[in-house]
Amino acid sequence: METSRVATAARATGILAVVLFAGAPAAIQLGLLPPGLGFRLFSASLLLGLLAVILGLIGLARTRVATGRDGRGRAVLGAALGGAVVLAIFALALPSGDLPVINDITTDLEDPPAFVAAAELPENRDRDMTYPAEFREQQRRGYPGLTSIQVSSAPAATLERIARIATDLGWTVIARDDAAGTLEATETSRTFRFVDDVVVRVRPAGDGSVVDVRSKSRVGRGDLGANAARIQRLADALEP
**Tell me: the pLDDT tens digits for 114-125?**
999 999 999 999
| Integer Cα distance of 79 and 170 in angstroms | 40
Average pLDDT value for residue range 81-96: 89
Does residue 96 have a pLDDT over 70? no
Q: Tell me phi and psi for residue 117, to 5 degrees.
A: -65, -40
Q: What is the pTM of this model?
A: 0.85
Q: What is the mean pLDDT of residues 63-85?
A: 86
pLDDT at 98: 81
Is a pLDDT exceeding 80 seen at residue 29? yes
Q: Report residue 68's pLDDT band, with 50, 70 and 90 as the boundaries.
A: low
Residue ranges covered by each domain of the chain: 5-96, 104-238
Mean pLDDT of the chain: 93
Asked if residue 89 lies in contact with residue 49, where contact means CB atoms within 8 angstroms, the answer is yes
Span 97-108, pLDDT tens digits: 688 999 999 999
pLDDT at 33: 95
Label the pairing between strands 208-217 and 195-205: antiparallel
How does residue 8 score in pLDDT terms, banded at 50, 70 and 90?
very high
- What local confidence, expressed as pLDDT, does residue 97 receive? 66
Calculate mean pLDDT across residues 142-169: 96
Residues 6+ apart with CB under 8 A from 61: none
More confident residue, 201 or 62: 201
pLDDT of residue 141: 94
Q: Does domain 104-238 have CATH number 3.30.310.80?
A: yes
CB 208 within 8 A of CB 154: yes
The phi, psi pair for 102, rounded to 5°, reads: -135, 160
Reply yes or no on whether the pLDDT at 41 is more than 60: yes
Percent of the chain with pLDDT over 70: 96
pLDDT tens digits, one per residue of 174-225 = 999 999 999 999 999 989 999 999 999 999 999 999 999 999 999 888 898 9
Are 203 and 155 within 8 A, CB to CB?
Answer: yes
Contact 193, 177 (CB under 8 A): no
